[in-house]
Structure 1
Amino acid sequence: YGAAKAGVDKMSHDMAHDFKPYNVAVVSVWLGLVKTEKVMTIDANKSKYGPMLAVAESPEFGGRIIDALYNDPKRMELTGQTFFSAELADRYGVKDVDGAQPPSGRGYLGPPTEFSPIVIE
């Protein structure tokens, strides 16, 4: 799981370098627990993920964040970086479909990988 996340973060970082001349922003977003059909079958009393169900994100939450990022005229300042979905939501004032503000996963997942800044001249 961790290797896959690191791979996506690195791919996003590299793609940001390749696409920056075309004014295309590329970011990696770490979603929280998403209320997929499978997740919603979890027995909250028996699973280690049970307590997280109360703050899980709807499938639409990530899309709302990407929409806000797309509409940010300064989005190119974020290209090549990795973010927690809840922290981007805070930045843009995005709420989940039920009006909730899911918490950041930073406390239990640790910080996203940081790469060297991209310098394209």
Structure 2
Amino acid sequence: MAKYRGGRINEEVKKEISEIIRNDIKDPRLTAMVSIVDVNVTKDLRYAKVYVSLFSTKDKDKEESFEALKSSTGFIRREVGHRMNLRYAPEIIFELDNSIEHGMHIDSLLERIKE
């Protein structure tokens, strides 16, 4: 049973952070649509690396939204600590994930090759 614990914790932290961002953060800089792609919590539960994908038409909105997320890490950490029964509230580290945009770029290149 112990080998599945890490995956369950990752998914639970992902769900909680997604809910906190959607419902509780009231930062006006957060204008882009935020999607939590993946969460990796270390085995000692001290750090959680959160991979975020931002959807917006303007690059400036993406940068401001990412800065808003970074500035709210303390609030998110406190909320995760209150909502989950873990030994430690993990320190949240946000990483920008551009895999969806990269995939769309590769798809457009493949479509051009077909034509």
Report the TM-score range of the alignment, normalised by the length of the smaller protein.
0.3 to 0.5
Relative contact order, CA 8 A, sep 6+: which one is greater? 1
With the length of structure 2 as denominator, give the TM-score of the two structures: 0.33
Bigger strand share: 2
Q: Which has the larger radius of gyration?
A: 2
Tell me which protein shows more helix as a share of its residues: 2
